[in-house]
A and B are shown apart, each in its own frame.
Chain A
């Protein structure tokens, strides 16, 4: 083990033991950050830590899958992808530990009483379970990385087993630390009728506190989110390497690399809105006042921004598919059923009406949409009209735009219900009046059935595009490395937007605690207990995203570019490959 790795372990150990000791100090001093204030300091450091952690937990999931695919199919590209992503992961792992340590220091300096309170309530987690998992993960990650070349051939299975173990430990670490995090949002209530404070301070066990309302929704959401994040960062790595590529062979490999990263990112992205919906549902189920605070009051415009970002991400991912399609020879022969195109175009309107009439979870809310889709699939068996792939994709783009426009249609036009005008009307420049909220006639566009239909449209369109792409790959010939250069900027855009959106929604989850550190339990007595504006938040989120990008860019260039020659010499030949072939 290298000196810096031993130091890393030592820092982690000292931090965790030292934190527990510091927490016991009576009335520790509160320090004030001179620039931005204490809340912004914690916000920035916590967000940075979570971004690094998201990558080091998300990337190994598909790294192992990639390694298995490479081993089973004897395709060297998967092996090389897995190894290069792991190389970046190892560097970013140290950044995760360092920002994690910084996070604890900043918390202790700025919110010592809250930190002490949390550590006392989750002492076994912070002082025993989490450190042990972290150390185990460190050891297994380094074992996984340093035994890569040694455990080849017949020993490959052992290396893959190490990778699986790394993921199991990583997932366990995430689940454990999500306990206190989710507890701050939804502290468990007593089943015996005790008030919340008495129950938490006297009766509740560690398991009671861990197993709170939003624990599993948060675990699911973060796991899926980490895979999305890992996929898009893989796309970013590919884009950087493509930009720095010096020959066609490198361009071919990193073109394929980017395609796989985008596939993983988009694949998991399709599930993410539903995982987010589950988390929001559980938060609202815990305390219904959280719902209006998020959707129609102080955080309403954060969701408006989220709608814009999700639309941009779906547009960009579909545009990447389009650019990928354009480099497939024989694309002009690919056609899709007209009925599929009509089905795709009908979804926003038809599903919105069905879900307005039969709100989820009414059985009809599932049966009727299924019947609608089935009717078109059956009709497609008899009606043989087809449209070219290009037309299909263009209609798909139109539907992404329409779907997202519905998603972005606001229910109210004010950033808080507290500021809604008394008579419900807003004056427009030429004397006409607008209601403070969307008119009843068009109100359905702003309600959840319409939003669900819009989300389903975005997901459905993307799936259809991938089906089309898959068909084109099987029937045509893909020329890796010949993708439009703009595609690399699309990959960079996707990673940047995904990180920015993660920052936005992370802020939303934290802010739902309102003026509490621990919702309904620990008041935030600091002057910064108010909800920040979206404008202010966007500056913080952008600053964090750019900082993360600078570090990641440096890590990619340092690990993959500087050591390129050696890696390149070991790499298997990758181009040209027939589409669909192994």
Chain B
């Protein structure tokens, strides 16, 4: 009985201290660290876990039990564990795969098209489309009732000049897309957005510091150029040397066009040095 009373005393004391720790952590994470709510809650829960641990340290011993009671306890224990781990994983911020799906489609589809299987699939698809188109034209011909009207109808469709016009028109936009697809933002920063860990140099004014052919050389052979302040042996290996194999020439040209357009002199950009 005395043992029980003393444990209740310990319990109250630990709960009080745990509560104080939780409040302190909440205030710190909210007003000093400016953490978002999920992470404020995470540290408050963590204080709760610490409290439970310190209560358990002085909890009275549990006597052995067996049979059905042990089996039920075991199953319940597994259910709690599984539920807790799943809840913990669901509690943290979640990545939206749709963001990556769009990117992957843009990267992978041209590669698939270049494979034998991709080419065969593409030919089959085009033959089906052409067949459908020819049937549609035949129907329209019949509906319009003559070749003159057909000619006019062909003029309305625009022929096919739009696509080349768009492709030639905005190389910088296509380059920006390549910058995002290759996830260059994970190491570099442009316009204040991107890596906060300074793995690679800021690129805001890179267009003023490098010629396009030098940028292309850097992309194809990363160790040919190093940014000022990134000359350590470790830094030299940071930029992957895979882009010459993973990107097509038009993609590299587009990326170079985008980088060449970055000429914001107000942002300090490390000077490139030829190696």
**Assembled-state Cα–Cα distance A319/B50 (Å):** 12
How many residues of A are counted as interface, with CB atoms below 8 angstroms from the partner's CB atoms? 91
A418 and B183 within 8 A (CB): yes
Closest to B107 in A: A515
Q: What string of 1s and 0s marks CB contacts (under 8 Å) between B28-52 and chain A?
A: 0010111111110011001001100
Say yes or no: B240 contacts A287, CB within 8 Å: yes
B57 interface hit (Cβ, 8 Å): yes
Interface membership of A523, Cβ < 8 A: yes
* B173 in contact (CB, < 8 A): no
Chain B proximity mask over A274-307: 1 for CB below 8 Å, otherwise 0: 0000000000010111011100111001001100
Q: Which residues of the other chain, A, contact B64 by a CB distance below 8 angstroms?
A: 242, 245, 251, 485
Q: Is B16 an interface residue (CB 8 A)?
A: no
Beyond A197-B245, A292-B187, A439-B34, is A534–B239 a contact (Cβ under 8 Å)? no
Contact A415 B93 (CB under 8 A): yes
Is A211 at the interface (CB under 8 A from chain B)? no
Spot the interface stretch: B84-92, B131-139, B257-265.
B84-92
Known: A301-B95, A485-B64. A417 touches B195 (CB 8 A): yes
Q: Name, among B43, B101, B183, B238, the residue most crowded by chain A CB atoms within 10 Å (CB to CB).
A: B183
Closest chain B residue to A312, Cβ basis: B49
Chain B residues within 8 Å of A177, by CB: none
Query: Nearest A residue to B184 by beta-carbon distance?
Result: A289
Indicate whether A315 sits within 8 Å of B53 (C-beta atoms), given known contacts A197-B245, A288-B237, A413-B38.
yes
Given known A-B contacts A287-B242, A288-B238, A428-B36, A296 and B186 have beta carbons under 8 A apart: yes
Asked whether, in the complex, the Cβ of A533 is within 8 Å of the Cβ of B46, the reply is no
Do B237 and A429 have beta carbons less than 8 Å apart? no
Residues in chain B near residue A416, CB distance under 8 A: 95-96, 99-100
Q: Is the CB of A297 within 8 A of B183?
A: yes
Q: Which residues of B contact A435 (CB under 8 A)?
A: 34
The proximity string for A residues 520-543 relative to B, scoring 1 for CB distances below 8 Å and 0 otherwise, is 100111000111111101110110
B97's closest neighbor in chain A, by CB? A530
Residues on A with C-beta less than 8 A from B193 are: 420, 422, 424
Q: Given A195-B245, A288-B199, A485–B86 Cβ distance below 8 Å?
A: no
| Cα(A500)–Cα(B82), bound, Å | 9
Q: Check B53–A319 contact: CB distance below 8 A.
A: yes
Bound complex: CA A414 to CA B30 (Å): 17
Chain B nearest Cβ from A44, distance in angstroms:
15
- Residues of A with C-beta under 8 A to B238: 288
State the Cβ distance, A94 to closest chain B Cβ, in Å: 24
CB distance B94 to A415 under 8 Å?
yes
Using a CB–CB cutoff of 8 Å, the interface residues on chain B facing chain A are: 30, 32-39, 42-43, 46, 49-50, 53-54, 56-57, 59, 61-66, 70, 73-74, 77-78, 81-82, 85-86, 88-90, 92-97, 99-101, 104, 107-108, 111-112, 117, 180, 183, 185-187, 192-197, 199, 237-240, 242, 244-246
**A401-B50, A408-B46, A493-B77 given. 16 additional CB < 8 A pairs?**
A27-B117, A242-B64, A243-B74, A244-B70, A288-B240, A296-B186, A305-B89, A405-B46, A415-B96, A416-B95, A416-B99, A486-B59, A523-B108, A523-B111, A530-B97, A534-B95
Q: What would be 24 A-B contacts, judged by CB atoms less than 8 Å apart? A: A243-B70, A292-B186, A292-B195, A319-B56, A394-B57, A398-B50, A413-B38, A413-B39, A417-B186, A417-B194, A420-B193, A424-B192, A433-B34, A434-B34, A485-B65, A500-B85, A520-B242, A525-B112, A530-B97, A531-B97, A533-B96, A535-B94, A538-B85, A538-B86
Interface residues of A (CB under 8 A from B): 27, 195-197, 242-246, 251, 285, 287-289, 291-293, 296-298, 301, 304-305, 308-309, 315, 319, 322, 326, 393-394, 397-398, 401, 404-405, 408, 410-420, 422-424, 426, 428-429, 432-435, 437-439, 442, 484-486, 489, 492-493, 496-497, 500, 515, 520, 523-525, 529-535, 537-539, 541-542, 545-546, 549
